Amino acid sequence: MSKRLLLIEDEPNIIEAISFILSRDGWHVASHSSGTTAMERLRAEPPDVVILDVMLPGRSGYEVLRDIRDDPSLAKIPVLMLTARGQTKDRELAERAGANLFMTKPFSNTEVLEAVRALVPAT
């Protein structure tokens, strides 16, 4: 059974790109483009791994991540943060909020794939 991945991102083209790459690697990719309702979606269908964008409409990715870590049922889910802001400050913020990995846009497709694979070891 393929691993489920939730992509929380608001840029349609990026959603399409990541979905295409990961699907071809056997991932079951779902996407959600609002920060506000992201937690409901996560609780409703808890994925095996989350790719989280920082700049989301409604709520920032950091807030969503903090909620994930605070929710016992979701706390263990590995999270890869993607951000268009590549400053050190942003990386620190992401780490403090509990991100497992942090990547800056534009990203390399291979790196994303490897990162996701690393986060969810095959069982």
Partner 1 sequence: MISFNGLVVICLAYVAMLFAVAFTADRFARKGHSRWLRSPIVYTLSLSIYATAWTFYGAVGSAARSGLEYITIYLGPSLVMFGWWWLLRKLVRIGRSQRITSVADLISSRFGKSNLLAVLVTILSVIAATPYIALQLQSVTVSFEVFANGGGTDTGEVVGRNTAFWVAIGLAIFTVIFGTRNLDANERHHGVVMAIAVEAVVKLTALLAVGIFVVWGLAGGVSQTLEVIEASELGQWQVHGGRWAGLIFISGAAFLCLPRMFQVLVVEAADEDHLRTASWAFPAYLMAMSIFVVPIAAVGLAVLPSDANPDLFVLTLPLSQGAEGVAVLSFLGGFSSATSMVIVAAIALSTMVSNHIVMPIWLRLAGGRATISGDVRNVVLTARRVSIVSIVLLGYMYYAVSGGGSALAAIGLISFVGVVQVLPSMIGGIFWRGATRTGAVAGLVIGSVIWLYTFFLPSIGIEVFSERTLAEGPWGLGWLRPQALFGIAGLDPFLHALLWSLALNALAFFGGSVLSFPTPVERLQGAQFVNIFQHSGGPRSWSSGVAQTEDLLIMAQRILGPGEAIALFRREAERQGVRGDLPEPRPDFLETLERELAGSVGAATAHAMVGQIVGGTSVSVQDLIAVADESAQLMEYSARLEAQSAELSSTARQLREANDKLTRLSVQKDAFLSQISHELRTPMSSIRAFSEILRDSGGLSAEEQSKFASIIHDETIRLTRLLDDILDLSVMENGRVSLNMREGRLCDVLDRAVAAGSVGESDEVSLEVRRDRSTEDIVLYTDLDRLSQVFINIISNARKYCEAAKPRLTIRVREQNRALAIDFIDNGQGIPRDSRDVIFEKFARISDQRAGGAGLGLAICRQVMERLGGTITYLPGQGGAGFRVLLPRKAALAAE
Radius of gyration for the alpha carbons in the chain, expressed in angstroms and rounded = 13
Interaction residues for partner 1, span 40-69 (CB under 8 A): 55, 57-58
DSSP string, 105-121: SS--HHHHHHHHHHHS-
Per CB under 8 A, the segment of 44-52, 61-69, 94-102, 103-111 that binds partner 1 is: 103-111
Beta strands in 37-121 (DSSP E): 49-53, 79-83, 101-104
In contact, 50 and 68? CB cutoff 8 Å: yes
The least distance separating partner 1 from the CB of residue 22, rounded to whole angstroms, comes to 11
Tokens of 95: 């780490």
Site string for partner 1, 13-42 (x = CB under 8 A): xx-xxx-xx--x--------xx--------
Interface with partner 1 by CB under 8 A: which residues? 10-14, 16-18, 20-21, 24, 33-34, 55, 57-58, 84-87, 104-110
